[in-house]
Amino acid sequence: MPPIFSADDFGLTVSVNEAVERAHLEGVLGQASLMVAAPAAEDAVRRAKTLPNLKTGLHLVLVDGDSRLGHQLLPTITGPDGRFSTDQAALGVRYFFSPAARRELRAEIRAQFAAYTATGLTLHHADAHKHMHLHPTVARMMIEVGREYGLTRIRVPAEPPAIMARCGEKITAGDRALHAWSRVLRRQAKQAGLATTDHVFGLKWSGHMTEEKVRNLLQHLPEGTAEIYFHPATYRDDALTRLMPGYEHEAELAALLALRKATFCEQKVAKTLY
């Protein structure tokens, strides 16, 4: 079964939105995850409504990004600017131990699902910025609230270390631990009756899913269903440079476009030969 090619951060900037649209029309991109509180969310929704074959879902932002409800309603978990901290570990501790933080967390999750529903787009899936839903408390609330809004599938970021090793990567204890920890989320999804893919790729090479890397990966894909996610953009604007200084957004778009061209050429050759 061919992998699913997806894009995160839809709505973050116009350059990201342009890349999602182009990668879908001219490349292999099949789905995208929308940040409903991001600066270019309205532009993303407008584009998505002209792309009936693009499957869209919610990219839940609960770390390093804009909240939907703002600081006045989320004083425990956001800064004065209404943004979530970049300190993922500290936020995770707060979400786990603080009753006030958990109340605000549930309210924000509900607000983001409600905002997505208000767009009129079909909710194909949900995932979370920086995979914050690997946190069991976040996952539980995401699943409980999401099901009220028709959620049927989520991403379980389980990137097999053995496959990445075959791709030439040095595997760390952290890689193995993260893969093992993803089983908690998979169990939560299964108990809730939510669909997931067997594997997800893009963690080890996050921001660096170049054509060379992806072609290498495609030669080593394991059996089962797989999602390969990207962070494409048509150009690196000020926001992307500030938020993700080391990412190769333009190269990731190029990879999505090149894969489509290669597939098209292979199909033409096959028709000619057979």
Q: What angle do CA 14, 17, 20 make, to 5 degrees?
A: 155
Question: How many domains does the chain fold into?
Answer: 1
CA distance 50 to 45: 9
CA distance 168 to 216: 9
pLDDT tens for 40-87 read 999 999 999 999 999 999 999 999 999 999 999 999 999 999 999 999
* pTM above threshold 0.85: yes
pLDDT given for residue 263 in this prediction: 53
- Picking from 55, 70, 40, the residue whose alpha carbon sits closest to that of residue 4 is 55
Q: Which CATH number does the domain housing residue 74 bear?
A: 3.20.20.370
> Which residue segment(s) compose the domain that 124 sits in?
4-273
* DSSP tag of 84: P
pLDDT tens for 136-181 read 999 999 999 999 999 999 999 999 999 999 999 999 999 999 999 9
Find the Cα–Cα–Cα–Cα dihedral 44, 203, 242, 246, rounded to 10°: -130
CA distance 252 to 154: 23
Stretch 244-264: mean pLDDT: 88
SS3 state at 28: coil
Read off the pLDDT band of 1 (50, 70, 90).
confident
- Picking from 74, 72, 93, the residue whose alpha carbon sits closest to that of residue 84 is 74
